[in-house]
Structure 1
């Protein structure tokens, strides 16, 4: 008789554990459905990358140089210290 209440308590713990596990699986499934629905784009909305240039506009050759962010190749300064020594016969790093 002493084993019967202990067995019932064990079965009750298993049932509670399985119920909790099923609840977690259900919540994860519902969260996945909500996230998938949120990722679907609205068909009436324009695409994410809409071209802003018209067909007549020519693409700039150096867009960064025109913005002043990067010097154009013809304006790049030459640093004399970085030029190799013409008198050097063999590499110095060996």
Structure 2
């Protein structure tokens, strides 16, 4: 039985259409599985812990609010440690050998 080219073209278009529909159904199904899995994981984790304010702590004002926040005024500059001073021999020329002191 010889099929006409028009009938073959129609069957090919139907096959391509059905393949496309099957692909879309597959993608929607996979997306649904991923979303359901994400919802299950979210419900199994405990809710985040929220800190509560103590009523007694709020009644007394902090004495040093900057110290409690970890921000303090800069201290006075520390004195220079003698070990950190530059070597006095660096000012002398270093291209010649040091001659011993004459007596």
Q: Could you tell me the TM-score, scaled by structure 2's length? A: 0.50
Deviation at 1:67, TM superposition (A): 3.4
Q: Which one has the largest radius of gyration?
A: 2
- Structure 1, unpaired ranges of 5+: 72-94
| Residue 10 (structure 2) aligns with | 7
Go from structure 1 to structure 2 and tell me whether the alpha carbon gap of 1:2 and 1:68 turns closer, same or farther (over 3 Å shift). closer
Q: Distance in 2 between matches of 1:2 and 1:51?
A: 75
RMSD of aligned residue pairs (Cα, Å):
3.0
| Residue 57 (structure 2) aligns with | 58
Go from structure 1 to structure 2 and tell me whether the alpha carbon gap of 1:70 and 1:11 turns closer, same or farther (over 3 Å shift). farther
- 2:16 match: secondary structure: helix
| Residue 39 (structure 1) aligns with | 42
Matched positions, count: 67
Q: Could you tell me the TM-score, scaled by structure 1's length? A: 0.54
Q: Distance in 1 between matches of 2:65 and 2:16?
A: 67
- Deviation per CA, 1:54-91: give whole Å up to 9, x if none: x68524635852233267xxxxxxxxxxxxxxxxxxxx
| Residue 69 (structure 1) aligns with | 71
